[in-house]
Amino acid sequence: MPTPPRVLTVAGSDSGGGAGIQADLKTMLALGTHGMSVLTAVTAQNSLGVQGAWELPAEAVRAQFRSVVDDIGVQAVKTGMLSSPELVETVADLLAGLSAPVVVDPVGVSKHGDALLAASALDAVRTKLLPTATVATPNLDEVAQLTGVRVHEEADMRRAAAAVLGFGPRWALIKGGHLEGDAVDLLTDGTEEHWLRAPRHDNRHTHGTGCTLASAVAARLARGDTVPEAVAAAKEYVTGAIAGGFRLGAGIGPVDHGWRLRG
């Protein structure tokens, strides 16, 4: 049996299973790849929010990364929750030695508004992590946090993308899900522009959308897609996952990572 493409997620754990490492691995499996993980933090998290977070030592993150990459190898990497300057710099240094594509999801806050990135780490994200990215996937809150650019309408997304690209990623995927109307995203490398639109589903159970989208992009890149192809396929996958989002607990439930299996 052939070995599936290998994708590594470097991110935090979500004990409720809706986001973080758990969402990443489910997405990677659903898209036909072998998911592997470097755990950066443990969270106590459920449908109501984040009740606690504990960062792992940089030494543990470095050891996990080397263990996987040096033996198994990777064909794409996705980064998520990196809460401190030390962790951001550690991961950026590790990624700088890779030839595989890297998808950086600059996680700033959880779906419930809980801070997941220390303010002191923002400069390291800008100057160390984003330059390693093949694709950076900030939402509008993360764009504002990183660049100061506030997007109020679709026309503002070009300016946001330019500001993100100024930090060095090859491509920026600006996620416009917080705007009114259709869910519209802009993918650009500063020359090409790809606008991706999908109908907005009336479903509040959207926990894990950012993790899922970034992981889907990484999985498709590992399978050999170009960046525009990977992002278009990931957009289709996450749109279906949002449509299938389900209630879990008393708050915001997760998207459905296995929606295609039940189609």
Q: How far is CA 7 from CA 52, 91, 113, 237, in A?
A: 28, 16, 28, 17
The phi, psi pair for 96, rounded to 5°, reads -60, -20
Active-site residue, selected from the candidate residues 17, 80, 210, 253: 210
* Distances 134 to 216, 230, 260 between C-alpha atoms, Å: 14, 12, 27
Q: d(Cα 171, Cα 226) in Å, to the nearest integer?
A: 11
Structure tokens at 227: 């960046």
Catalytic residue from among 188, 211, 235, 253: 211
Question: Using alpha carbons only, what angle is made at residue 219 by residues 132 and 115, rounded to the nearest 5 degrees?
Answer: 60
Catalytic residue among 209, 212, 235, 239: 209
Q: Is 206 a catalytic residue?
A: yes
Instruction: Name beta bridge partners: 208.
Output: none
Check if 134 is active-site.
no
* Alpha carbon distance 124, 86 (integer Å): 9
Q: Which whole-number Å values give the CA distances from 160 to 152, 179, 232, in the listed order?
A: 11, 14, 20
Cα separation, 66 vs 260, in Å, equals 33
* Angle formed at CA 129 by CA 128 and CA 130, multiple of 5 degrees: 105
Catalytic residue selected from 175, 176, 177, 244: 175
**Which one of 33, 147, 206, 212 is the catalytic residue?**
206
Q: Does the annotation mark 209 as catalytic? A: yes
Q: Which of 80, 108, 208, 253 is catalytic?
A: 208
Would you please indicate which residues are annotated as catalytic (active-site) residues?
A: 175, 206, 208-211
